[in-house]
Amino acid sequence: MSAGLALAGVCAGYGPLPVLHDVDLDVPAGSITAVVGANGAGKTTLLRTVTGQLPAASGSIRMGGRIDLRRVAVEDMVRTGVALVPEGRSVITDLSVDENLRLGGLWRKDRAAAARTLDEVYGHFEPLARRRAAAGHQLSGGERQMLALGRALMAVPQLLLLDEPSLGLAPKVTAGIFTLLRRLCDGTGLTVVLVEQNVRSALAVADHGVVLNLGRVVAARPAADLAADTGLRHTYLGF
Ligand SMILES: Nc1ncnc2c1ncn2[C@@H]1O[C@H](COP(=O)(O)OP(=O)(O)OP(=O)(O)O)[C@@H](O)[C@H]1O
Ligand SMILES: [Mg+2]
């Protein structure tokens, strides 16, 4: 299943502090959009607003054209097809790899289908398949990120949001994760919003790129165009 994401005129913030200003975003179904920008630009705030953890003050947030995500309660997001892999690889360290993954699909009524998804996830992440019984705290940083992503995939999302998945990972591990995202988009029509500080790698895997600065979209273009724009890179991305 495939569903794009569209934001129009979204404003959000924390209490009286506005952070996102009039944000428009168009993420076509089955594509990867990289969202980049300096520290404090509002990238995490954007993901939290889409998932309803932070209510938008105004604007519209729609998935697949029909679903008004502002009307979906945060606890219903996963069921609606939206999965977030938050910053910091939120795995449950006392639970095993297998238990962490199963948690991601616990709400699914079709247990046979959930079991099939579990097999698929292990197929994506060989290191996890080899360490099913290992506790979360025994995993390396890369394995934890795989586990956090695997747990999100257990819900078979239509829209996957990732907050800096490459943080602290070896380039090879990051490349493996990005390649998998590409494969899922091309193969299953998954729609991905990839927030990244690792701008080069993110724009290399993405179809579209969006630059956020002080809570505003300052550029939204094909990823290759953004990567080639040295002026923009110098001004907003520091390289
Ligand atoms: N819980 C919060 N309460 C108040 N202000 C916050 C909160 N979280 C973030 N902010 C503020 O919102 C702005 C945007 O922060 P946000 O975390 O969305 O940026 P970011 O682009 O994800 O940055 P980073 O690259 O450091 O992760 C910053 O000015 C930050 O101080
Ligand atoms: Mg952030």
Q: Tell me what pLDDT residue 238 has.
A: 83
> Mean pLDDT throughout 98-112?
95
Return the ligand number nearest the Cα of 20.
1
Q: How far is the CA of 51 from the centre of ligand 2 (A)?
A: 14
As residues whose CB is below 5 A from the ion ligand 2, the structure lists 43-44
Q: State the chain's maximal CA–CA distance in angstroms.
A: 52
The domain spans of the chain are 5-81+158-237, 94-156
Element (H, E) at 150: helix 141-153
Q: Which pLDDT band holds residue 89 (cuts at 50, 70, 90)?
A: confident
Sign of CA dihedral 38, 40, 45, 46: negative
Give 88's DSSP letter: T
pLDDT digits (tens, 9 = 90+) for 44-75: 999 999 999 999 999 999 999 889 999 999 99
pLDDT digits (tens, 9 = 90+) for 166-179: 998 999 999 999 99
Fold classification of 5-81+158-237 (topology level): Rossmann fold (3.40.50)
CA distance 77 to 99: 21
Contact 69, 82 (CB under 8 A): yes
Q: Which pLDDT band holds residue 138 (cuts at 50, 70, 90)?
A: very high
Give 234's DSSP letter: I
Whether 2 has a pLDDT exceeding 80, the answer reads no
Q: Tell me what pLDDT residue 65 has.
A: 86
Mean pLDDT score of the chain: 95
**Pocket lining for ligand 1, CB < 6 angstroms:** 14, 17, 19, 37, 39-45, 197
Return the ligand number nearest the Cα of 49.
1
Whether 239 has a pLDDT exceeding 90, the answer reads no
Q: Tell me what pLDDT residue 164 has.
A: 97
